[in-house]
Structure 1
Amino acid sequence: MTIKLKKILRWVILGATLVFVGNALKNHWLEVTAIRIDEAGWSILAIATGVTLLAHIWAGWIWTWVLQELKQPLPSIKFIQVYLKTNLAKYLPGNVWHHYGRIVAAKNANVAPGAATLSVLLEPLLMAAAALIFVVLFGNQFAANNTTLTLQGLKILSLVIILCAVHPRFLNPVIGLFYKLKAKKSSTQPTPNFRIRRYPLRPLLGEMGFLGLRGMGFVLTVFAIMPLNLSHIPLLLGAFSFAWLLGFVVPGAPGGLGVFEATAIALLQHRFPSAAVISAIALYRLISILAETIGAGLSYFDERLAK
């Protein structure tokens, strides 16, 4: 029954986001088709693609930091390649296949199974914490004056909960319970119980860098469509971070597809021309997929050349 409800929920979320995005596109179709990008705009889009690719490379490096925190030193370049090659799998139904690919690759490199699994659980937690930090810093511009304090308080509370969740004092008991349950269900030799020995501050700061690069890629994409000034950058970073976070945590949205677009349109369409917002968000999705594809392709060819 629970599995059926999850499937229904995924389809409801996907359907609702597609209806919202489709309706926004229908209402502003003529304005969207009237937008033209000049040579400077295409150059900016190329830079945005490069910045987004750099963000994914950086995220792969941070994954090696997480493994180092678990006392699993590994060759950084090799595992950045693994990260980039598995990135596109997040668009497959289930939204877990990129994690599965990384766990398998880590095990094949003689990483302890417990550490491999824990690394791909910690990484999204740290990403979510980094996104919430950006939302707390820049997201208050989306609320009305009479609700700003309440929403800011809720955001700070959510951030505190996530930051506490990755603290060794709270995380290690959960890890220990997981290993105990796994040992009871398995008749094989239990795997070592890996523990976090210190707060993962370095990986958390690294994930903030990842979100900052992704956000700048989004800002550059908007800038290619319409002129911006410096006061717009915090607004766009806050909107991007909130939309990215929802796309990251909402079930039934592989790679945040649909949820990210619907949220970003809802937040920005009343602050910028709707047609420009829709065009920029659609372009950014294409840029993001293109950057991930380039990263996976470069990793594959680099491995082939090395062999």
Structure 2
Amino acid sequence: MKPVVRIAGVIVSLAAFAFVGRAIYRSLDGLQQQLVSPLFLFAVAGSVVAYAMILQVCGLAWHRLLTAIDYPSLGIGQALAIYGRTQIYKYLPGNVLHMLGRYRLARSAGASNKALAFAQIAELLTILLAAAGISALLARAVLANALQERGINDPTLVNILIVCGIAVLTIGATMIVRQRMAGTGLRAFGAVAVALVFYALFFIGSGLLLAALCKSISSAGGVPELIGIGAAAWLVGFVVPGAPGGLGVRETVLIAGLSIAGLPAAEATAVALGYRFVTTVGDALVAMVIMLLEFKK
């Protein structure tokens, strides 16, 4: 199935790039005006620094999962340094090298294979559950509007889709985590719960940055639904195989979701491109600071 999944991922990524390219072309004049707006540029610059700080929440979640198995193999400072340094690797082809790099560096620093395997699986499941839950709860109105535009005007259907999606993800996560956590005790379950809260805070924080970009150029869209759209875009970009950092796929979901939320095409495209700049440069900024500090030691 791996070649089939990989091919499907490539097809989805190419379709996403085509959609984004078409959106840029169709709104080129308005897009240029938005991208040079002083308020928008100020929001982008501030969001880069804020995102770099918010990213540390994910590092804390990963550290909590690690120490649930073989505490105290890594200190918080070590874990944050490893996490921040390897985040930039996700922009390389494959979208998994940041996980492999994190595993290798943490193993060299003294973490056990059991702890790293648990942390990796639990991280994937909790971060997906957090993204799915926030997007379902906060972007419900966007999903309802999207279905309504296609002639499906039934709130019950929307609720069923949301509940079923969260239920399937939760059941799958519980089954896998229980198998992987046999013999680790209640501390591992507590670590998963804490990590889930951390990842939820990450999506809320990064969603607020998306809302700040939106509000710098348009008054359309409520802050809660913008946070939900951001989480949904991250989720779809993450699960599509082979898209480095969700490149193209995330922007497609953002443009579509923001357009449904009421932003004109040019503004939605500008925000999607600005948000990509914020997250990419934010990841790079964290990696550069960590490598600079390590170089000075």
Whether TM-score is above 0.5 comes out as yes
Secondary structure of residue in 2 paired with 1:272 = coil
Greater mean deviation of Cα atoms: 145-154 or 97-106:
145-154
| Distance in structure 1 (CA, Å) of the matches to 2:99 and 2:56 | 16
Pair 1:303-2:290 in alignment: no
**Number of aligned positions between the proteins:** 286
Q: Which has the larger radius of gyration?
A: 1
Shift in Å, 1:77: 1.1
Shift in Å, 1:195: 6.8
1:224 aligned partner: 216
What does the per-residue CA deviation read over 1:101-129, in whole Å, with 9 as the maximum and x for residues that have no partner?
Answer: 11111211221112112212211211111
Identify if the C-alpha distance between structure 1 residues 12 and 284 changes in structure 2 by more than 3 Å, giving closer, same or farther. same
1:140–1:148 contact (8 Å) kept in structure 2 = no
Pair 1:249-2:239 in alignment: yes
1:156 aligned partner: 163
What does the per-residue CA deviation read over 1:129-161, in whole Å, with 9 as the maximum and x for residues that have no partner?
Answer: 111121222121111462332232222222233
2:54–2:206 contact (8 Å) kept in structure 1 = yes
2:199 aligned partner: 207
Shift in Å, 1:295: 0.2
What does the per-residue CA deviation read over 1:172-191, in whole Å, with 9 as the maximum and x for residues that have no partner?
Answer: 32567xxxxxxxxxxxxxxx
Pair 1:171-2:177 in alignment: yes
Match of 1:211, as an amino acid?
F
Question: Which of 258, 261, 276 in structure 2 is aligned with 1:268?
Answer: 258
| Distance in structure 2 (CA, Å) of the matches to 1:175 and 1:279 | 44
What does the per-residue CA deviation read over 1:74-112, in whole Å, with 9 as the maximum and x for residues that have no partner?
Answer: 210111011011001111111111111111112112211
What does the per-residue CA deviation read over 1:53-78, in whole Å, with 9 as the maximum and x for residues that have no partner?
Answer: 11212111111011122233221011
2:39–2:217 contact (8 Å) kept in structure 1 = no
| Distance in structure 2 (CA, Å) of the matches to 1:166 and 1:8 | 26
Pair 1:233-2:232 in alignment: no
Shift in Å, 1:8: 2.1
1:140 aligned partner: 140
Identify if the C-alpha distance between structure 1 residues 207 and 36 changes in structure 2 by more than 3 Å, giving closer, same or farther. closer
2:16–2:252 contact (8 Å) kept in structure 1 = yes
Shift in Å, 1:31: 1.7
Identify if the C-alpha distance between structure 1 residues 170 and 24 changes in structure 2 by more than 3 Å, giving closer, same or farther. closer
Greater mean deviation of Cα atoms: 31-40 or 65-74:
31-40
Greater mean deviation of Cα atoms: 271-280 or 217-226:
217-226
1:48–1:216 contact (8 Å) kept in structure 2 = no
2:47–2:278 contact (8 Å) kept in structure 1 = yes
Shift in Å, 1:14: 1.5
| Distance in structure 1 (CA, Å) of the matches to 2:14 and 2:189 | 43
Q: Cα RMSD over matched residues?
A: 2.1
Shift in Å, 1:299: 0.7
1:93–1:254 contact (8 Å) kept in structure 2 = yes
User: What is the TM-score with the length of structure 1 in the denominator?
Assistant: 0.86
Q: Percent identity?
A: 24
Output aligned runs, 1:1-307, within 5 Å. Answer: 2-35=1-34, 37-73=36-72, 74-142=74-142, 143-144=144-145, 146-167=153-174, 171-173=177-179, 197-199=188-190, 200-227=192-219, 232-270=222-260, 271-305=262-296, 307=297
Give structure 2 stretches of 5+ with no counterpart. none
Match of 1:267, as an amino acid?
G
